[in-house]
Amino acid sequence: MVLWASAFVAIRHLAGTFAPGSLAFGRLGLGAICLGVIAGRGGLPKATPRQWLGIVIVGALWYATYHVALNAGEHHVDAGTASMLILCAPVFVAGLAAVFLKEPMTRTIAVGLGLAMAGGALIAFSGSGGGDQRLLGAGLCLISAIAASVAMIVQKSLLAGLKALPLTWMTVTVGAVICLPFVGQFVGDVRHASGSSILWLVFLGVFPTAIAYTTYGYALSQMSATQAGILTYLIPPITIVLGLVFLGEAPPALAYVGGAVTLTGVVIARRK
């Protein structure tokens, strides 16, 4: 969660240097290489056609779609705001898990989902300037949250037959392959990037991608999708602190209210 929180700050920092697709390709490409060095020694694990379909879905949604949309969203909203919008994901996961994984579905999940969406709306409409652009950024971040939620459910089912490390390697690689159309743009961005920006990119590829997604995949194999998803609400407070330290920016006041409403929705959705 700490590494994922730092990713929001790194993405925001690199928004003026790398285009959304370019940054996604660079991050995923580096992550795939790092994971391949470790997981690739044993070769590709044997997967059924159904599992390969799931691998492609996770790679397309959680890695390609999520990262491109989030990168684009952070061109218009600060890192803390983006992380609070992604906070809606645990409630989406709870609803999807009830439908597809037969995890318990309660009336409180519906109430929590409603509150989470209301909180997301408050976050989206917070801020005094750049209204249309801010709404665009908020919408892109919500698309990221939905993509990650669907992918998390699919990945949970895949972890019943595949280990976390090789699965993460394969899905990250699929995401990088899908982002190949951005390779020309990536080369151009790297040529104009400063040394510190390239180091931030390397950090994104190694730590929040290769390491964090693997450790989260292992955690997901040891608990329910809902339990794992709810851990992500630790990310916004960490992101806000890191954003203040490294970027000197914080979400608008109304965004904190929206974040609190969203968090309340998450807590209610998971109340026993």
**CA–CA distance, 102 with 194 (Å, rounded to integer):** 49
pLDDT class for 264, splitting at 50, 70, 90?
confident
* Residues whose CB is less than 8 angstroms from the CB of residue 50 and which lie 6 or more positions away in sequence, other chains included: none
pLDDT of residue 105: 63
Q: Average per-residue pLDDT in the chain?
A: 86
What are the structure tokens assigned to 255, written together? 């965004």
Find the range with the poorest average confidence among 61-75, 182-196, 216-230, 242-256.
Answer: 216-230
**CA–CA distance, 225 with 267 (Å, rounded to integer):** 15
The closest of 141, 240, 247 to 200, measured between CA atoms, is 247
Is the pLDDT score of 260 beyond 60?
A: yes
80 in Cβ contact with 250 (< 8 Å)? yes
24 in Cβ contact with 195 (< 8 Å)? no
Residues 127-178: tens digit of each pLDDT: 655 567 878 888 899 899 889 888 888 888 898 888 888 998 999 999 999 9
Kindly list the distances between the CA atom of residue 13 and the CA atoms of 19, 141, 183, 249, in Å, as whole numbers in the listed order. Answer: 12, 16, 20, 11
Looking at residue 65, its amino acid is T
The alpha carbon of 17 is separated from its chain's Cα centroid by a whole number of angstroms, namely: 20
86 in Cβ contact with 235 (< 8 Å)? yes
Q: pTM for the complete prediction?
A: 0.85
Is the pLDDT score of 272 beyond 60?
A: no
* Residues whose CB is less than 8 angstroms from the CB of residue 16 and which lie 6 or more positions away in sequence, other chains included: none
218 in Cβ contact with 164 (< 8 Å)? yes
Residues 19-69: tens digit of each pLDDT: 999 999 999 999 999 999 888 776 777 889 999 999 999 999 999 999 999
pLDDT of residue 233: 73
pLDDT of residue 117: 76
pLDDT of residue 104: 65
220 in Cβ contact with 159 (< 8 Å)? yes
DSSP 8-state symbol, 14: T
**CA–CA distance, 196 with 57 (Å, rounded to integer):** 34
262 in Cβ contact with 88 (< 8 Å)? yes
